[in-house]
Amino acid sequence: MTTLNVLFLCTHNSARSILAEALLNHITHGASGTHFKAFSAGSSPSENQQPNPLALQVLQSAGIATDDLRSKNWDEFALPDAPHMDLVITVCDNAAGEVCPYWPGQPATAHWGYPDPSEVQGTDEERLAAFRNTLYMIQKRLQILVDLPAEKLQKTMLQHTAREISKDHA
Protein backbone atom coordinates (compact mmCIF):
# COMPACT_ATOMS: atom_id res chain seq x y z
CA MET A 1 0.00 0.00 0.00
CA THR A 2 1.29 3.44 -0.97
CA THR A 3 1.36 6.20 1.63
CA LEU A 4 1.28 9.85 0.58
CA ASN A 5 2.35 12.43 3.16
CA VAL A 6 0.31 15.63 2.98
CA LEU A 7 1.21 18.85 4.80
CA PHE A 8 -1.48 21.50 5.32
CA LEU A 9 -0.17 25.02 5.89
CA CYS A 10 -1.78 28.09 7.41
CA THR A 11 -0.37 31.13 9.16
CA HIS A 12 -0.98 30.15 12.81
CA ASN A 13 -1.73 26.41 12.49
CA SER A 14 -4.70 26.75 14.82
CA ALA A 15 -7.87 26.28 12.73
CA ARG A 16 -8.02 25.44 9.00
CA SER A 17 -4.79 23.45 8.79
CA ILE A 18 -5.64 21.63 12.03
CA LEU A 19 -9.11 20.76 10.67
CA ALA A 20 -7.59 19.45 7.43
CA GLU A 21 -4.93 17.36 9.20
CA ALA A 22 -7.40 15.71 11.56
CA LEU A 23 -10.03 15.13 8.89
CA LEU A 24 -7.70 13.56 6.31
CA ASN A 25 -6.23 11.23 8.93
CA HIS A 26 -9.75 10.33 10.03
CA ILE A 27 -11.24 9.57 6.61
CA THR A 28 -8.26 7.50 5.45
CA HIS A 29 -7.81 5.54 8.69
CA GLY A 30 -8.18 1.88 7.78
CA ALA A 31 -8.93 2.64 4.11
CA SER A 32 -7.68 0.34 1.39
CA GLY A 33 -5.65 1.55 -1.58
CA THR A 34 -3.60 4.71 -1.28
CA HIS A 35 -3.17 5.77 2.32
CA PHE A 36 -2.65 9.38 3.32
CA LYS A 37 -0.79 10.62 6.37
CA ALA A 38 -1.66 14.22 7.14
CA PHE A 39 0.37 16.82 8.99
CA SER A 40 -0.16 20.53 9.57
CA ALA A 41 2.01 23.53 10.36
CA GLY A 42 2.01 27.30 10.34
CA SER A 43 4.30 29.91 8.89
CA SER A 44 4.23 31.96 12.08
CA PRO A 45 2.37 30.41 14.98
CA SER A 46 2.65 32.44 18.18
CA GLU A 47 5.05 31.19 20.81
CA ASN A 48 2.48 29.24 22.82
CA GLN A 49 0.00 28.70 19.98
CA GLN A 50 -2.58 26.00 20.55
CA PRO A 51 -5.26 24.64 18.24
CA ASN A 52 -8.38 26.82 18.36
CA PRO A 53 -10.78 25.36 20.98
CA LEU A 54 -13.71 25.74 18.56
CA ALA A 55 -11.82 23.72 15.92
CA LEU A 56 -11.25 20.98 18.47
CA GLN A 57 -14.89 21.11 19.57
CA VAL A 58 -16.18 20.77 16.00
CA LEU A 59 -13.80 17.86 15.30
CA GLN A 60 -14.80 16.07 18.50
CA SER A 61 -18.49 16.59 17.73
CA ALA A 62 -17.88 14.93 14.34
CA GLY A 63 -16.23 11.94 16.03
CA ILE A 64 -12.73 12.88 14.88
CA ALA A 65 -9.77 12.34 17.21
CA THR A 66 -7.98 15.44 18.45
CA ASP A 67 -5.54 13.98 21.00
CA ASP A 68 -2.39 14.34 18.91
CA LEU A 69 -3.14 17.76 17.43
CA ARG A 70 -0.78 20.61 18.22
CA SER A 71 0.22 23.87 16.58
CA LYS A 72 3.71 23.78 15.08
CA ASN A 73 5.99 25.87 12.90
CA TRP A 74 6.54 24.73 9.33
CA ASP A 75 10.30 24.73 9.94
CA GLU A 76 9.81 21.33 11.65
CA PHE A 77 9.05 19.81 8.27
CA ALA A 78 12.10 21.27 6.54
CA LEU A 79 14.50 19.48 8.92
CA PRO A 80 16.55 16.55 7.59
CA ASP A 81 14.82 13.99 9.85
CA ALA A 82 11.28 15.22 9.06
CA PRO A 83 8.95 13.04 7.02
CA HIS A 84 9.22 13.81 3.30
CA MET A 85 6.02 15.35 1.98
CA ASP A 86 4.40 14.29 -1.28
CA LEU A 87 1.89 17.14 -1.29
CA VAL A 88 1.88 20.54 0.44
CA ILE A 89 -1.44 22.41 0.49
CA THR A 90 -1.86 25.96 1.75
CA VAL A 91 -5.34 26.52 3.20
CA CYS A 92 -5.15 30.26 3.84
CA ASP A 93 -4.33 33.09 1.48
CA ASN A 94 -1.64 34.55 3.76
CA ALA A 95 0.40 31.33 3.83
CA ALA A 96 -0.06 30.91 0.07
CA GLY A 97 1.68 34.22 -0.52
CA GLU A 98 4.64 33.55 1.75
CA VAL A 99 7.98 32.14 0.75
CA CYS A 100 7.95 28.57 2.00
CA PRO A 101 11.00 26.69 3.24
CA TYR A 102 12.65 24.21 0.92
CA TRP A 103 10.74 20.96 1.26
CA PRO A 104 12.91 17.85 0.89
CA GLY A 105 11.78 15.70 -2.02
CA GLN A 106 10.21 18.62 -3.95
CA PRO A 107 6.55 17.81 -3.16
CA ALA A 108 3.63 18.84 -5.31
CA THR A 109 1.93 22.02 -4.08
CA ALA A 110 -1.57 23.45 -4.27
CA HIS A 111 -3.61 26.22 -2.70
CA TRP A 112 -7.05 25.40 -1.30
CA GLY A 113 -8.13 28.69 0.25
CA TYR A 114 -10.84 28.84 2.91
CA PRO A 115 -12.14 31.83 4.91
CA ASP A 116 -10.78 31.93 8.45
CA PRO A 117 -13.53 30.72 10.82
CA SER A 118 -11.57 32.23 13.72
CA GLU A 119 -12.39 35.71 12.45
CA VAL A 120 -16.16 35.22 12.57
CA GLN A 121 -17.80 37.44 15.18
CA GLY A 122 -21.12 36.68 16.79
CA THR A 123 -22.70 34.26 19.20
CA ASP A 124 -21.01 31.02 20.21
CA GLU A 125 -23.39 29.16 17.89
CA GLU A 126 -22.56 31.44 14.94
CA ARG A 127 -18.86 30.95 15.54
CA LEU A 128 -19.27 27.16 15.83
CA ALA A 129 -21.29 27.21 12.60
CA ALA A 130 -18.37 28.91 10.84
CA PHE A 131 -16.02 26.13 11.97
CA ARG A 132 -18.53 23.43 10.94
CA ASN A 133 -18.88 25.07 7.51
CA THR A 134 -15.10 25.19 7.06
CA LEU A 135 -14.82 21.53 8.07
CA TYR A 136 -17.51 20.67 5.51
CA MET A 137 -15.74 22.60 2.72
CA ILE A 138 -12.44 20.88 3.53
CA GLN A 139 -14.17 17.50 3.65
CA LYS A 140 -15.56 17.94 0.13
CA ARG A 141 -12.10 18.44 -1.36
CA LEU A 142 -10.44 15.76 0.76
CA GLN A 143 -13.04 13.18 -0.21
CA ILE A 144 -12.33 13.86 -3.87
CA LEU A 145 -8.61 13.48 -3.19
CA VAL A 146 -8.91 10.15 -1.38
CA ASP A 147 -11.34 8.78 -3.98
CA LEU A 148 -8.96 9.43 -6.88
CA PRO A 149 -7.62 6.47 -8.83
CA ALA A 150 -3.98 5.61 -8.09
CA GLU A 151 -2.70 6.95 -11.42
CA LYS A 152 -3.95 10.45 -10.52
CA LEU A 153 -1.87 10.28 -7.34
CA GLN A 154 1.43 9.42 -9.01
CA LYS A 155 4.13 12.03 -8.39
CA THR A 156 4.01 13.16 -12.01
CA MET A 157 0.26 13.85 -11.82
CA LEU A 158 -0.16 14.96 -8.21
CA GLN A 159 0.60 18.65 -8.78
CA HIS A 160 -2.00 18.97 -11.53
CA THR A 161 -4.59 16.86 -9.69
CA ALA A 162 -4.37 18.79 -6.40
CA ARG A 163 -4.71 22.13 -8.20
CA GLU A 164 -7.68 20.91 -10.22
CA ILE A 165 -9.50 19.89 -7.03
CA SER A 166 -9.12 23.47 -5.81
CA LYS A 167 -10.67 24.94 -8.95
CA ASP A 168 -13.60 22.61 -9.30
CA HIS A 169 -14.73 22.15 -5.72
CA ALA A 170 -14.51 25.36 -3.77
Catalytic residue annotation:
10, 92, 100
Tell me phi and psi for residue 125, to 5 degrees: -65, -40
| Distance from the Cα of residue 59 to its chain's centroid | 13
100 SS3 class:
coil
| Distance from the Cα of residue 27 to its chain's centroid | 13
Q: In whole angstroms, give the CA distance from residue 9 to residue 11.
A: 7
